[in-house]
Every structure is written in structure tokens, then in C-alpha cells.
Amino acid sequence: MVVEKTHIIIKENCACFSGAVFLLLGSNLGDRLYYLNQAVVELENCGIKCVKKSSVYETDSWGYDDSPYLNQVLECETFFPPENLLEQTQKIETLLGRIREGKGYQARTIDIDILFYDNKIVDIPRLIIPHPKIALRRFVLMPMCEIAPDFLHPVSGKTVCQLLEECEDKGKVEKIHLQNP
């Protein structure tokens, strides 16, 4: 099946949207579970409602060697347009101690990636949605498949579970069992 790639450029002044937004949380510094939980609190505090959360997974770092991550996918609802959503998530990262130095992958207290913004395709200088590396990362696809198995990737036309079946990433992705989820 051939899916024609089209781009919807979403401007900052667009009409606000409330629909399914999927975010990936990741942490590999300090109290990793605390940072995941606190990110959810801060998202809610700024008006980003978390309606569904995957289990928490411990995963290998991806793209560089470092300590393992805890990752979790959230399904959220928001009235923020994509670029404002990015600004909010970056403010939360800073609030929770994330330091950005240089380019490339690095350890962090918290990382919040925008995976999908409903079925929209966004391509603006600071932001590409869907996240361009989703299909390459088991640590994204496994928790995403847990909470939204039939969600269609708007570019490939495949479900996230189909993408997981095709993913060649062999990194460790293990669900952790929490005493008080």
C-alpha cells in the first residue's frame, strides 16, 4: 500500500484542538520513577489532561551508551496547538532539572517527546510530528501498542502494533511491576 505523504503546516495562531495526543516520557538520571510521575503532574497542572498511561518500561539507552531508562507513553488531551505543546513540555523538562548541552543524545532527568498529535502531520522548523524515529524504537512502540494498538501512523498508514512487528530494534524493553501504580 502506498501512502501519499502530505504535510499540514500548523501555524501558532491556528484554531486550538482537543484530541488524542501521545507523549513519551523518559528518564535515566536520579529517581527515574519520580520524574515520570512528576511530569504527569506538571502536564496536568498546565492543562494537558492525561487520559491513559501505559505501564512503565525499563529500556536500554538508544543511540548512546548510558544507564537504562524508564519510559512510559501517555495519551493526552490538550487545547494547545503543536508548537505551544512543545513549549509546555520543554518548560516542564527544565522545571524537572533537564539540562540541554550541545547536540546528540545525553542522559536526562526527564524527556518528553511528542509522538503523535491526533492524525496530524506537522513539519515546522522546531517540530516534526509524527516523531520521525517512532518506527525505529521498540521502547516507544511497545508502550504505545499497549494503550493504542490500532492507532494509525498518519504517514505510513500502519498501526503501531504493525510497526512494532516490523521494528528491527533489539534493545531491552521490559515492563516493570510497580507496587502502587
| Catalytic residue numbers, as ranges | 98, 108, 111, 113
Can you list the alpha helix ranges (DSSP code H) found in the chain?
Answer: 32-45, 82-95, 138-147, 160-166
Q: Which residue carries 518548560 as its cell?
A: 91
Within 8 A by CB and 6+ apart from 82, the residues are 10, 114, 117, 120, 122, 124, 127, 129
Q: Which residue carries 519510559 as its cell?
A: 71
Degrees to nearest 5, angle at CA 115 with 113 and 118: 135
What's the rounded Cα separation, in Å, for the pair 155 and 178?
A: 35
